[in-house]
Copies of this chain bind each other. A is one copy, B any other.
Amino acid sequence: MKEKIPYKIYLNENEIPTQWYNVRADMKNKPAPLIHPGDGHALTIEEMNPIFCEELNKQELDNETRFFDIPEPVLEFYKMYRPSPLVRAYFLERALGTPAKIYYKFEGNNTSGSHKLNSSIAQAYYAKAQGLKGVTTETGAGQWGTALSMACAYFKLDCKVYMVKVSYEQKPFRREVMRTYGATVTPSPSNTTNIGKKILADHPGTGGSLGCAISEAVETAVSTPGYRYVLGSVLNQVLLHQSIIGLEAQAALKKFDIKPDILIGCLGGGSNFGGFAGPFLGEVLRGEANYKFIGVEPASCPSFTRGKFAYDFCDTGMICPLAKMYTLGSQFIPSANHAGGLRFHGISPILAQLYHDGYFEARAVEQTAVFDAAEQFARAEGILPAPESSHAIRVAIDEALKCKETGEEKTIVFNLSGTGYFDLVAYQQFNEGTMTDTIPSDEAIAEGLAKLPKVGNE
């Protein structure tokens, strides 16, 4: 008889991967480089060094090296909360009555509440190693800001966080966790930067956006000696660090000889789907396997399903380099009643290229359907999921229900990237029936896309 798969598959500590995987090494069509918004030339490391940490820039520009050694202090920190379990969703399967086998990689069992800690600790390490005094960043739903605060506390670095104002108000306790870890948190847009002042003047009463907050964080980093800017998603380096999720998932699946059919992750800036699916995409790129991948994005911020594959600013203030992404335009701001994160107008250039080349499907889902899945999951599996992760849950349940109809015993694996303990305002709206769906009009999408820069796109 075949051994029963345990409820939770844990690797041993000595099985934690000691290298990150760089999917770019296996891509035939490499992701387009960051370019200068003035004349469109590809950014050099010398141009990037004043903004970002040097070692991270090397990782950012390296499309060839397949594996990067994880520095020893980062590996040690990983042991604080990793390996994370790969959970067999027996309880959810039973609740759905599906013949599908569902697994999830659970990245939420740490105080930052999400996978973001995987990259923040790496970035803080390189900042410290470079002798910096501190770092600046933006945060949307607060997961990244919390993760960076924890990492900076560990390496004794200053941490200045610009938090999207609507999230700052919806999630007052996120700020408190960051403060407990010694970070300073400013709601964005703010009066502490020139770009913040301008955005406030142009859009009084705005709830902010990730794009605004990025502009403010970058301005503060380049104007403060001893500081650099760090980013929790979108960049190649972030997908590199987050590959630890997919690598561990692969190792856990291998332990029990489990072959996935469908791999699912949510899509915001790309750290979640990219980190989880990246190593599996590598297998496909190398011709070693064949999986179905589904990236799930919010219908209120549909970068892949309604955006354009083009060069665009990463930030609303248009002071950052241009990246080639699927984008809704840097001026696009999702409706304030969109809960959770996943509110970035663009996406990781790596994922943009892979999507363009047909390696995965993107699916947009509405938030009431997402919270419906979240509640179903919470009651079955005993974990209150983050709204972001619940996008993946929604599609995992949909696919499992298809299996129920067809009788297929597919193996579905998704990334449960975080917990929803700081998203209770959104859960309250859902519980009280006041949550609405907000799908941008065709006009709003067209308006956003009309403002794409000419540089890089002509």
Q: How large is the interface on A (under 10, 10 to 19, 20 to 34, 35 or more residues)?
A: 35 or more
- Docked Cα-Cα span, A77 to B77, in Å, equals 31
Do A111 and B80 touch across chains, with their CB atoms under 8 A apart?
A: no
Given the known interface contacts A7-B13, A13-B8, A111-B419, the answer about A382 and B80 at a Cβ–Cβ threshold of 8 Å is yes
Nearest-neighbour CB distance to chain B for A152, whole angstroms, equals: 10
Mark out the residues of chain A between 78 and 137 whose CB falls within 8 Å of any chain B CB in the assembled complex. 79-81, 91, 109-111, 113
Residues of B within 8 A of A10 (CB): 10
- Docked Cα-Cα span, A91 to B431, in Å, equals 40
Do A181 and B428 touch across chains, with their CB atoms under 8 A apart?
A: no
Q: Which of A6, A421, A424: most chain B Cβ within 10 A?
A: A424
Instruction: Return the contact of A180 from the options B13, B81, B181, B384 (Cβ within 8 A).
Output: B384
Residues of B within 8 A of A421 (CB): 111, 113, 173, 177, 421-422
A150 on the interface (CB 8 Å rule)?
Answer: yes
Question: Could you say which of A237-245, A361-369, A373-381 contacts chain B?
Answer: A373-381
Do B424 and A379 touch across chains, with their CB atoms under 8 A apart?
A: no
Do A176 and B80 touch across chains, with their CB atoms under 8 A apart?
A: no
Residues of B within 8 A of A181 (CB): 378-379
Do B382 and A81 touch across chains, with their CB atoms under 8 A apart?
A: yes
A68 on the interface (CB 8 Å rule)?
Answer: no
- Docked Cα-Cα span, A6 to B110, in Å, equals 18
A144 on the interface (CB 8 Å rule)?
Answer: no
Mark out the residues of chain A between 151 and 207 whose CB falls within 8 Å of any chain B CB in the assembled complex. 153-154, 172-173, 176-177, 179-182
Residues of B within 8 A of A153 (CB): 379
A262 on the interface (CB 8 Å rule)?
Answer: no
Mark out the residues of chain A between 321 and 369 whose CB falls within 8 Å of any chain B CB in the assembled complex. none
Do A378 and B428 touch across chains, with their CB atoms under 8 A apart?
A: no
A401 on the interface (CB 8 Å rule)?
Answer: no
Instruction: Return the contact of A177 from the options B77, B180, B381, B424 (Cβ within 8 A).
Output: B424
Mark out the residues of chain A between 407 and 458 whose CB falls within 8 Å of any chain B CB in the assembled complex. 419, 421-422, 424-425, 427-428, 431
Mark out the residues of chain A between 1 and 56 whose CB falls within 8 Å of any chain B CB in the assembled complex. 6-8, 10, 12-13
A285 on the interface (CB 8 Å rule)?
Answer: no
A403 on the interface (CB 8 Å rule)?
Answer: no
A253 on the interface (CB 8 Å rule)?
Answer: no
Residues of B within 8 A of A251 (CB): none
Residues of B within 8 A of A180 (CB): 375, 378, 384, 427, 431
A-B contact pairs, 20 of them (CB 8 A): A6-B12, A6-B13, A8-B13, A8-B79, A10-B10, A77-B382, A80-B91, A109-B109, A111-B419, A153-B379, A154-B382, A173-B421, A176-B428, A176-B431, A177-B421, A177-B424, A180-B384, A180-B427, A180-B431, A421-B421
With A6-B13, A8-B79, A80-B91 already in contact, 7 other A-B pairs whose C-beta atoms are closer than 8 Å: A111-B421, A113-B421, A150-B382, A154-B379, A173-B424, A177-B427, A421-B421
